[in-house]
Structure 1
Amino acid sequence: MAKNIFIAIAFLTGLGLIFIGARFMISPEIAEAGYGINFNEQHDYSFHYIKGIRDLFTGLLICILMLSKQTKALGLTLLLGTVIPLIDMFIVLSKDYNGFAQAIPHISAIIICFFCGIFFLRNNNVKKTDNTGFAKVIRSVDTNEDSTIEYNIMPGEKTPWHYHNLFSETFEIVRGTLEVGLKNQVYQKKTGDIVTIQPNEKHYFHNTSNDDCLIKVTISPGNKNFENALLILKGLAKDGLASTSGVPKKLSDLALFIYLNNSRMVGPQKIAETLFNYLAKKAIKRGRLEELELKYCRGSFIGDFNFV
């Protein structure tokens, strides 16, 4: 309940700043009076326009951060932005013709910016969880024609557009929701939904929710490298060696994941394929792949689940 209230206040603050900024641009004298000063501008509204564009930008920034759920950035913007209404208040109160009443709007803005900023910084949009990485091979190509792996996709975790040319993928959403891009369409999938991606079909996934998404993927024909790629990726995440979006922090580990995963890039990213191939081969030669497989693919544990 409290979160919804602060969200509404922040969004209305952004809209209010957009209105104030637009008013300074369109009706500078009216906006000047509302601000709380009397200035003999002699039809030169340069400073009014400067004030207007400042408020327009700030309001748009707050609304965009709010709509894109960039909670931490929004909190920092509001908290640091407290200095703006604070200085405005001092300017208004410095005028002999003003009293406390003219300072009330600026004091209100100080309170809103400060407390909303603190709230959003302390209540980050992404939930924290101890189980940052989980993957389990249910059926392996070692004993079956296909590979089936169950793993979780953390909030914010995503892949770029890519495709595979060695196998098809069938995703089943076991729990949660997931945004899936397939060909040129974007779909919102929920628990129980199944998506099949054929070889050479470009796709991506992105967990845009606040909760992890548990999926079961079947690779046909089975692929041992793909199995190991997911075990390694989730192992790195568990050990803090991957970003919140699921990308390995070391470039060589990322290159190895792309190699094992049979990922082929599309668009401008395709330029990087040659570099990743080189880095993967170099990492294999110096034993990094063997090190990762020994650590994460042979009886290792992530969370409460045993890797098969």
Structure 2
Amino acid sequence: MTTKRLATVLAVLGGLFLLYIGALFLLAPQTSAEGFGLPTWPQGQGEGFLAVKGMRDIGFGLVILALLLAGQRKALGLAMAAMAVVPASDMVIVLNEGGPAATAYGVHGLTAAAVAVTAGLLLRERPAAA
């Protein structure tokens, strides 16, 4: 598999995964929240924050897929490099709030690494010859 194809597969999977996770947080917020890693969650009117998280993920997923479909691979690489901050900060938040280290590193840390690797692969690509 070529590097370009690998970057494309990783970007598509990342975009689709974000759409899926975002939809889960909108449709089943309390159930989805348990896997995030924080020990407590908003209740009552505070549950709107879970919808915010869901829409954040859907928005990021749509940005990834839109840039990929538009053929803007360098812009996608830059966007994904910037987006890697989100799961990395989620990892730090889970750790600071006393959540399980396994979830912090295994879910959020690995996600940050996967996003950063995908960004790196996209940014290393050479422009096509004219």
TM-score (norm 1): 0.39
Three-state SS of the structure 1 residue aligned to 2:35 is helix
Matched, 1:102 2:103: yes
Structure 1 equivalent of residue 14 of structure 2: 13
CA contact (8 A) 2:33 2:41 kept: no
Structure 2 equivalent of residue 90 of structure 1: 92
User: Which is greater in Rg?
Assistant: 1
Within 5 Å, which residues of 2 pair with 1:73-152? 73-99=75-101, 101-103=102-104, 104-124=106-126, 126-128=127-129
Alpha-carbon displacement from aligned partner over 1:54-82 (angstroms, at most 9, x marks no partner): 10000011011112211011001100111
Letter of the 2:53 partner, please give it. K
Q: Between Structure 1 and Structure 2, how many residues are aligned?
A: 127
Letter of the 2:96 partner, please give it. S
Within 5 Å, which residues of 2 pair with 1:174-253? 212=130
Q: How far 1:121 sits from its partner (Å)?
A: 1.5
**Which structure carries more strand by proportion?**
1
RMSD: 1.5
- State the identity as a percent: 33
Q: How far 1:9 sits from its partner (Å)?
A: 0.9
Structure 2 equivalent of residue 38 of structure 1: 39
CA contact (8 A) 1:11 1:63 kept: yes
Alpha-carbon displacement from aligned partner over 1:238-294 (angstroms, at most 9, x marks no partner): xxxxxxxxxxxxxxxxxxxxxxxxxxxxxxxxxxxxxxxxxxxxxxxxxxxxxxxxx
Structure 2 equivalent of residue 201 of structure 1: none
Q: For 2:108 and 2:24, locate their aligned partners in 1 and report how far apart those are by CA, in whole Å.
A: 17
Three-state SS of the structure 2 residue aligned to 1:35 is coil
Matched, 1:65 2:67: yes
Letter of the 1:32 partner, please give it. A
TM-score (norm 2): 0.89
Q: For 2:113 and 2:72, locate their aligned partners in 1 and report how far apart those are by CA, in whole Å.
A: 21
Q: How far 1:43 sits from its partner (Å)?
A: 2.5
CA contact (8 A) 2:38 2:98 kept: no
CA contact (8 A) 1:85 1:109 kept: yes
Quickly say closer, same or farther: Cα 1:75–1:43, change in 2 above 3 A. Answer: same
CA contact (8 A) 1:32 1:38 kept: no
Quickly say closer, same or farther: Cα 1:27–1:83, change in 2 above 3 A. Answer: same
Q: How far 1:95 sits from its partner (Å)?
A: 2.8
CA contact (8 A) 2:39 2:98 kept: no
Alpha-carbon displacement from aligned partner over 1:175-195 (angstroms, at most 9, x marks no partner): xxxxxxxxxxxxxxxxxxxxx
Q: How far 1:42 sits from its partner (Å)?
A: 2.3
**What stretches of structure 1 of length at least 5 have no aligned partner?**
129-211, 213-308
Q: For 1:40 and 1:67, locate their aligned partners in 2 and report how far apart those are by CA, in whole Å.
A: 36
Q: How far 1:83 sits from its partner (Å)?
A: 0.7
Greater RCO structure (CA 8 Å; 6+ sep): 2
Q: For 2:99 and 2:114, locate their aligned partners in 1 and report how far apart those are by CA, in whole Å.
A: 26
**What stretches of structure 2 of length at least 5 have no aligned partner?**
none
CA contact (8 A) 2:37 2:99 kept: no
Three-state SS of the structure 1 residue aligned to 2:44 is coil
Q: How far 1:105 sits from its partner (Å)?
A: 1.2
Structure 2 equivalent of residue 56 of structure 1: 58
Q: For 2:119 and 2:99, locate their aligned partners in 1 and report how far apart those are by CA, in whole Å.
A: 32
